[in-house]
Amino acid sequence: MAADPSSVATLPDDATLAAPTRLSSDPFEILLEALLQVRLECHLWKAHFIHLAGYQLPEATSAEYRDVWDLMLARWIPEYSPETYQRYAPLFENAIRDMRARFDRLSVVFCRVLPRDVRKRLEKAARQLDFAAASYQWIPARVHIEDPAVLFAARFKGVIRVLRLVARDADERLRAMVDQTP
**Cα dihedral 171, 104, 118, 76 sign:** positive
Does residue 167 contact residue 97 with C-beta atoms inside 8 Å? no
Euclidean distance between CA atoms 134 and 96, whole angstroms: 10
* In a domain? residue 7: no
Domain residue limits at 36 = 27-52+81-180
CATH number of the domain that residue 147 is part of: 1.20.1440
pTM above 0.85, yes or no: no
* In a domain? residue 120: yes
Give the amino acid at 182. Answer: P
* In a domain? residue 63: no
Q: How many CB atoms are located within 10 Å of the residue 113 CB?
A: 16
Instruction: Please report, in tens digits, the pLDDT of each residue of the chain (182 residues total).
Output: 455 555 444 555 555 555 555 556 788 899 999 999 999 999 999 999 999 998 777 887 778 888 889 999 999 999 999 999 999 999 999 999 999 999 999 999 999 999 999 999 999 999 999 999 999 999 999 988 999 999 999 999 999 999 999 999 999 999 998 888 76
* In a domain? residue 101: yes
